[in-house]
Amino acid sequence: MDPEVSLMLHCDPLKALGENQIHVEISDRFNRQSFPEIEQHIEAVWSDRVSKEPWLFNGAKFRLHSAVLSVRENGPVAEHAVRNPTRSQHGEGERLESAGESQGSSPKDEQPCVLTLRLGLTCYKDYLGTNWSREAGRLQSHGRNECADPQAFLAQPLGVGAVVATADGDVVLLRRSQKVAEAAGLLDIPGGHPEPKMLCPEVSEEAICADLLQGKERAVVSEVFSSVCAEISDEVNVPVGSLSKPVFMGIALNHTSAGRPSAEFYVRCTLTTEEVRDLYRRGGPEAHESTEILFLSPAKLFQLNERCPLWSEMCPSAKGAVLLYQRGKGLFAKRPFKKGDTIFIEQPLVSSQFLWNALYKYRACEYCLRALETAEENARRLSGRAALNLPHPELCKVRPDRHQACPHCQVMYCSAECRQAAWEQHHRLLCIGSSHHDPDHPLNKLQDAWRSVHYPPETSSIMIMARMVATIKQAQDKERWQRLFSHFCSRTANEEEEIVHKLLGEKFQGQLSLLRNLFTTALYEDRLSQWFTPEGFRSLFSLVGTNGQGIGTR
């Protein structure tokens, strides 16, 4: 785990939080703890900085003390409190179970999941004298000993940041100027701080206190969310109207500033990558804070880790946002989902039944994998108990009247449509006709070898790779299919070796060459020669292992 960053809270995939699911409690109880020595130190640090940088001013900030998650699941509300921690043993804080963004606004007690942020007030001066001070470590030790909270004496100003995706799906990164105080020259995401001053325009920064914000809790939440879009607009120079409503991904902690918290969001932009690039180059209100804009594709963003050279160029706030984005798989719900709802339907590029399942006569469509027998029929056959009955047989729909067999090799399909689709995509080349039981047929030898090196439970199938090759060989538009398959993420040689090791296990890794030789004998194609070399075959194996999706029936 990168020592510069950890996650305090993160949302589950598809369940980022909308604005109406965030609540705040504001109290001076959540302010920084104090003692005379640290106050003297803060004043000394501030005086020194102002003497060198007279343009500095002491602005009020929100202080994150802790967070409380309330989850309602058809019963009483369960609450789980998360204090603003430093690093846990595994480099992460608590996991945040959360729900999707709702449409409209609902009362707190009607939401399936609500996050309450406990906020106090702090200021920039206190931040420089605590989190950003050489005394930060000592203050954390003192807080741990005196208050059972290592952050008790730190300012902990709440920052905000955003993973901004263009209409093309690219994510925005900014190269910070060499003139900024923190993380100079490093890559960052757009971000900043929500400002208490926006809620108390008639009050001086120094006079803003928790009492003045009582009754303005919803306005505080609105400021947290709107400040994200304002920072994006100012730093990237895109119109606020081109930005979607932010959704909350979680909270990351920056350990280069003693665990300073930042709420990270996901925001979509309706402008294309080139349109965003053009607007940035024109310069916006905060153009002086960065010198360059970069765009990363989602695939590259998901591959980012400590081994990537780009990772070392990123500041901690950007790293935290990337980790949260990766946790959520880049998917964010725009509405709530109920148990049993269909989220999306997707047709695989190729599919294949596990070879051990086929050997044990599990009956499934050779094209779409739809079951060709009911669960009860399956259980009776496997158990040998013809009188076995399972509950709710009405939930298991099978249409044997529609089933069709390949007239050449007799493999079964759930419908004439699937049989025709398979024939047109790959089965014309893979059909072995009457050689189904011939152990010397190249495809049978390949399948037998796979079963001999990969016992159940299978994690992939060599026939997925065979159908990929056959699909390209049969296709009229071969380049289109090659582009579709090459769209999946590539891996380094070491990563591919690790994936092959996980799929086959140490005992059988040496037999990868046997599989490659049999695969080549059965399916070689000049156009795809790169897939049949030792390196290319391992890469293809890794691609299937990484992007394959197992399908279970129940």
Q: Is 110 a member of any domain?
A: yes
What pLDDT, on a 0 to 100 scale, did the predictor assign at position 71? Answer: 64
Q: Is 76 a member of any domain?
A: yes
Give yes or no: residues 281 and 144 share one domain. Answer: yes
3-state secondary structure 403-438: CEECCCCCCEECCHHHHHHHHHHHHHHHCCHHHHHC
Is residue 64 within 8 Å of residue 93, measured between CB atoms?
Answer: no
Give yes or no: residues 9 and 70 share one domain. Answer: yes
- Bond prior to 457 in cis (omega within 30° of 0): yes
Question: Whole-angstrom Cα distance, residue 196 to residue 213?
Answer: 8
Q: Is 340 a member of any domain?
A: no
Q: Phi and psi at residue 457, in whole multiples of 5°?
A: -80, 135
Give yes or no: residues 289 and 397 share one domain. Answer: no
What pLDDT, on a 0 to 100 scale, did the predictor assign at position 299? Answer: 85
**Among candidates 279, 403, 427, which has minimal Cα distance to 350?**
427
Q: Is 259 a member of any domain?
A: yes
Residue 451 identity: R
Q: Is 290 a member of any domain?
A: yes
- What b/e sequence results for 20-31 when a residue is b if at least 16 CB atoms lie within 10 Å of its CB, and e otherwise? bbbbbbbeeebb
Whether the CA torsion 323, 328, 330, 334 is positive or negative: it is negative
Tens digit of each residue's pLDDT (9 = 90 or more) over 153-210: 999 999 999 999 999 999 999 999 998 888 999 999 999 999 999 999 999 999 999 9
Give yes or no: residues 309 and 458 share one domain. Answer: no
Is residue 43 within 8 Å of residue 163, measured between CB atoms?
Answer: no
Give yes or no: residues 175 and 300 share one domain. Answer: yes
Residue 407 identity: P
CA–chain centroid gap for 315, Å, is 19
Torsion angle in degrees (nearest 10) through CA of 441, 446, 450, 453: 90
Give yes or no: residues 374 and 259 share one domain. Answer: no
Q: Which two tokens stand for residue 466?
A: 């065979």
Give yes or no: residues 312 and 374 share one domain. Answer: no
Give yes or no: residues 522 and 376 share one domain. Answer: yes
Q: Is 510 a member of any domain?
A: yes
Q: Whole domain around residue 48: which residue ranges?
A: 5-327
Listed as ranges, residues in the chain with pLDDT below 50 are 13-14, 74-76, 86-109, 492-494, 554
What pLDDT, on a 0 to 100 scale, did the predictor assign at position 128? Answer: 97
Secondary-structure breakdown of the chain: helix, strand, coil percentages, each rounded to the nearest 5? 45, 20, 40
Residue ending a domain, choose from 311, 327, 343: 327
What pLDDT, on a 0 to 100 scale, did the predictor assign at position 100? Answer: 34
**Among candidates 5, 46, 38, 36, which has minimal Cα distance to 128?**
46
Question: Whole-angstrom Cα distance, residue 523 to residue 30?
Answer: 67
Q: Is 213 a member of any domain?
A: yes
**Three-class SS state of 90:** coil
Q: Which two tokens stand for residue 503?
A: 């799929």
Give yes or no: residues 379 and 499 share one domain. Answer: yes
Q: What's the predicted TM-score (pTM) here?
A: 0.64
What pLDDT, on a 0 to 100 scale, did the predictor assign at position 490? Answer: 52
Number of domains in the chain: 2
The side-by-side arrangement of strands in the sheet containing 77-83 is 22-26, 113-123, 60-72, 77-83
Tens digit of each residue's pLDDT (9 = 90 or more) over 69-91: 776 554 445 555 666 554 443 34
Q: Is 347 a member of any domain?
A: no
DSSP per position, 98-142: --PPPSS---GGG-SEEEEEEEEEEEHHHHHHTTTSTTHHHHHHH
Give yes or no: residues 446 and 542 share one domain. Answer: yes
**Among candidates 264, 266, 222, which has minimal Cα distance to 246?**
266
Give yes or no: residues 53 and 125 share one domain. Answer: yes
Give yes or no: residues 94 and 237 share one domain. Answer: yes
